[in-house]
Amino acid sequence: NAGVTQTPKFHILKIGQSMTLQCTQDMNHNYMYWYRQDPGMGLKLIYYSVGAGITDKGEVPNGYNVSRSTTEDFPLRLELAAPSQTSVYFCASSYSGVEAFFGQGTRLTVV
């Protein structure tokens, strides 16, 4: 049982480039989330989804896009990367919308 799997674990991106962070879960959870964590800060919600085909903005959505074509996958797209997007990104899923299971994170550096 893999839980929530994120790829890649680490990545260095140049300013202006784009990339997609992958997230997949095998628990058949309807709710999925993307958070970012900056040093010394709590997790901030970027986007979330309550089911396939449904996504909504969280607290810090600017510069990101998501899609949810299947229950399992919830990729996060960064367009025109900026240094301010240097962070650790966590994907999570939840059965109830309360308790969430997190992936191991993607450490992204934009230079």
Task: Find, among 106, 110, 109, the residue nearest to 34 by Cα.
Answer: 106
Least distance to another protein, CB of residue 94, Å: 7
Least distance to another protein, CB of residue 28, Å: 17
Q: Which of residues 30-59 bind another protein (CB under 8 A)?
A: 31, 35, 40-45, 48, 50, 58-59
Alpha helices in the chain (DSSP H): none
The nearer residue to another protein, 99 or 111, going by C-beta atoms, is 99
4 near another protein, rule: CB under 8 A: yes
The nearer residue to another protein, 17 or 29, going by C-beta atoms, is 29
* Total number of residues that touch another protein (CB under 8 A): 25
Checking DSSP bridges between strand 10-13 and strand 106-110, what pairing results, if any?
parallel
Least distance to another protein, CB of residue 16, Å: 28
Give the CA distances from residue 3 to residues 26, 49, 50, 53, 56, in Å, rounded to whole numbers and listed in that order. Answer: 6, 17, 18, 21, 23
The nearer residue to another protein, 44 or 77, going by C-beta atoms, is 44
Checking DSSP bridges between strand 76-78 and strand 64-66, what pairing results, if any?
antiparallel
For residues 88 and 110, give the distance between their C-alpha atoms in angstroms, rounded to a whole number. 11
Q: State the residues that interact with another protein by CB under 8 A.
A: 4, 31, 35, 40-45, 48, 50, 58-59, 90, 92, 94, 97-105
